[in-house]
Amino acid sequence: MGEISLRTDNTPTVKPVPPRGRAPWPRRVVSRCRAISRRRLVRMITPWAFLALPLGLLILLTYLPAYNLIRYSLTDWDGIDPTMNWVGLANYQRMATDPALYRVLFVSLFYLVGAVVQIAIALYFATILSFKVFAKNVFKGILFFPYLINGVAIGYVFLYLFRKDGTLDTTLAFFGLQDPPQWLGDPKLINASLAGTSVWRFTGMNFVLFLGAIQSIPGDLYEAAELDGANSWHRFWHIILPGVRRVVALSFILAISGALAVFEIPYVMTGGANGSKTFAIQAVEMAFTHRKVGLASAMALVLLAMVLLVTWVQRRFFPDERVELT
């Protein structure tokens, strides 16, 4: 049925009526376009909805403190007074003209040497434990366990180990050494002792990195090398070392940055006494002991710049190149 209307010549006409329950085609097209637009909008919003909380925390806990650090470094704020006086680059000028602020960087050389030893030990054990060894899972756990312990706890454990008539002195006396040196009292030995503690703690991290990289090397390469008459040293030098070269480069970057920014172990064990003060400890003392937050902020930014510079130099002169082992 349809609607009846009259023409101008009084002739009745019938207008077709669309079937019930179905909208006219223009309306259906509009509804479909709206549904498609809604789906696209949901697809666009969904990733940002999941990223909103992480990005918010990143801005709140990383970028906002970094902005405040830059702002504080341009003032003479003492950390308490609500007013801050703008001094511009005066804090950086003082750092450039005061060699005492950089003298503590020589202490980082001990930790840098310790980091190299740490990498060598980790690579050695990772290579051995990548193959069939009796109780290798036990040794893996023993090597990785120190990395799981809190740094403050490790500091107190080794503080009792190195103190006079402590565990180390008692052990040496058992083997006949009756007059051991003062491990934390002698300025010539204190940094080596602290660096040794750092090696004991962080070897497990490098060990796990090397172990994963070595186990990702196809086993067919070892079999082919063995058929060609390669010994263990040849397999290590021509297969394992090229296969873990990127991880070794990463470990060296972490070692250098860690040596420059070392703080926890020397601060807990000695508080920076007897010549064991590092650049990070000096920055903390400048902020919380001498109430010079502006200068300490400038020192923190200079330390960050040194780490970034070392990373850039490493990437510039020792770039990552794809290694083809096959």
**Segment among 11-25, 203-217, 268-282 with least mean pLDDT:** 11-25
Q: Which of 238, 225, 221, 253 is nearest to 318 (CA)?
A: 253
Q: Which of 80, 103, 101 is nearest to 92 (CA)?
A: 101
* Domain ranges (residues) in the chain: 20-73, 90-317
Model pLDDT for residues 136-156, shown as the tens digit of each residue: 889 889 999 999 998 899 999
| Radius of gyration, alpha carbons of the chain | 33
Model pLDDT for residues 249-302, shown as the tens digit of each residue: 888 888 888 888 889 999 999 988 888 888 889 989 888 888 899 999 999 898
pTM, two decimal places = 0.77
pLDDT at residue 66 is higher than 60: yes
Residue 303 CA to residue 265 CA, distance in Å, equals 18
**What superfamily in CATH does domain 90-317 come from?**
MetI-like (1.10.3720.10)
